[in-house]
Structure 1
Amino acid sequence: MIASIQKATIAYRCPHCGLAILAEVDPFILGKDMLRLKCDCGESELLIVRSLDGKVRLTVPCILCPQSHNYTLSGNVFFEKELFTLGCTYSGIDICFIGQKEQVAKRLEESEKELLDLLGDTDFADIPRDSDRSAEFFAEQVSDVIAYMLAELSEEKKIHCRCPEDNGRYSFSYTGKGVKIVCDCCGAEKEVEVNNIMTANDFLQTDELTLE
């Protein structure tokens, strides 16, 4: 019943000034009207509407794309989850955070660090905002991460294949689900799910690879 539902905290990061905006959402207030969560700079706003079927519909500004993204959640997910995140379609980066205040604030901080780590020396303002160029930009970032990790792991003899003493030469190509890493000498291979900037960040934590 709605009487047992708690308030939810929702947060997003303004794509224009970079400020994180957090607010509490009361289920009773949301049931009466559209809520607008505006940044103080006046350049972005997150829209929340509760439809007659009880679902919560959101329009969320994206820190990477020129257009906002639309999402539909059940009321239970929106108000009862400790933490729920919504990601950008093109990059996989979380752009909206919903749940308990402490969990939302923690994940918001973590996502900022992940983004900064992946961008490296690239300034936030230099990220292209149109969809095609944004997708191309992050595809290049993912490729750089994979190439870097293959070089590091190969040098440390942490890529295992059928070559004597793991002295192979390694390359990669994109597949439908991620990338295929292949030893050009013995033909051993492994498919890894690295298809957006967040899975690329996970790949940075890889200690070793075994090709079969």
Structure 2
Amino acid sequence: MLFMEETRSFGYVCPKCGKAVVARRSKFALSAAAVRMECPKCGESALEVQTDGVRFRLWVPCGLCGGVHQAECSAQELLEGRGIALACPETKQLCCYAGEESQVMARTEELAIRVDKERSEQREAFTDNVIMYEVLSELKDMAGRGSVRCACGSKDYGIRIHRDAVDLTCRACGGKLRLPAATDEDLDQLCCRMTLEIPGRKDGV
């Protein structure tokens, strides 16, 4: 009698190339060791899953905001039932699916269509697409180094993208920093800065 090993599928949209990535792993493999699932098209992103035997921790590349999100769930949530969906904290939209293969494939394809549509709209939305892309990339690198913070002491902030600028808003005090993102000079000025500090907003101001 042939034994079919039970599996779970994972789906996300690669933030680099926009491909819908769906990978399948056995429940045994997921429970035994860390698992890494790369984008087969460009290899520039990978969803990672680790477990301590009780809970699972996931690192999810996000096709919606371009970042990588960390999430935790129980072993029962991940390994049993139809599955779970994880949301992007920036856009509040679902960005990753895990569970039964048919469900994951359908939802991930829908996500890929939505991401492609939003990217198409963004390509027409900026004064200079290349400059905006470079500014956002530089901001991502600075955030990864812990070089973005607010004068109030918080490092928790949100990003709002405009046609020719990017706003950084502190989630703790509401302070805001606007960064121009339309010209080569705007990019050069950002790249010359080692750190970014959002002006803190005092109570009542």
Q: Same fold (TM over 0.5)?
A: yes
Cα displacement string for residues 28-86 of structure 1 (whole angstroms, at most 9, x for unaligned residues)? 1122211110113121111101113x211101112244531111111111111313211
- Write out aligned runs for 1:118-157 (5 A): 121-123=121-123, 128=136, 130=139, 135-137=159-161
- Write out aligned runs for 1:167-206 (5 A): none
> What is the number of equivalent residue pairs in this alignment?
133
Structure richer in helix, relative to its length: 1
Task: Give the Cα separation in 1 of the matches to 2:26 and 2:121.
Answer: 40
Corresponding letter in the other structure for 1:37: M
8 Å contact 1:80–1:99 — kept in the other structure? yes
8 Å contact 2:13–2:112 — kept in the other structure? no
Task: Give the Cα separation in 1 of the matches to 2:13 and 2:158.
Answer: 17
8 Å contact 1:83–1:100 — kept in the other structure? yes
Equivalent in the alignment of 1:75 = 75
8 Å contact 2:56–2:75 — kept in the other structure? yes
SS for the counterpart of 1:46 is: strand
Task: Give the Cα separation in 2 of the matches to 1:116 and 1:30.
Answer: 30
Task: Give the Cα separation in 1 of the matches to 2:61 and 2:36.
Answer: 12
- Write out aligned runs for 1:9-88 (5 A): 9-40=9-40, 41-52=42-53, 54-88=54-88
- How much has 1:118 moved relative to structure 2? 5.2
Equivalent in the alignment of 1:8 = 8
Equivalent in the alignment of 1:193 = none
Larger Rg: 1 or 2? 1
8 Å contact 1:91–1:135 — kept in the other structure? no
Equivalent in the alignment of 2:174 = none
- How much has 1:112 moved relative to structure 2? 2.9
Query: 63-72 or 119-128, which moves further after superposition?
Result: 119-128
**TM-score (norm: length of structure 2):** 0.55
Gaps of at least 5 residues in structure 2 are: 144-156, 163-205
Gaps of at least 5 residues in structure 1 are: 139-212
Residues 59 and 31 of structure 1: CA distance in aligned 2, closer, same or farther (over 3 Å): same
**TM-score (norm: length of structure 1):** 0.53
Structure richer in strand, relative to its length: 2
Task: Give the Cα separation in 2 of the matches to 1:63 and 1:134.
Answer: 17
SS for the counterpart of 1:110 is: helix
SS for the counterpart of 2:121 is: coil
Task: Give the Cα separation in 2 of the matches to 1:17 and 1:136.
Answer: 22
- Which runs of at least 4 in structure 1 moved beyond 6 Å after TM superposition? 124-127, 131-134
8 Å contact 1:64–1:134 — kept in the other structure? no
Q: What is the root-mean-square deviation in Å for CA atoms of aligned residues?
A: 3.0
Corresponding letter in the other structure for 1:136: R
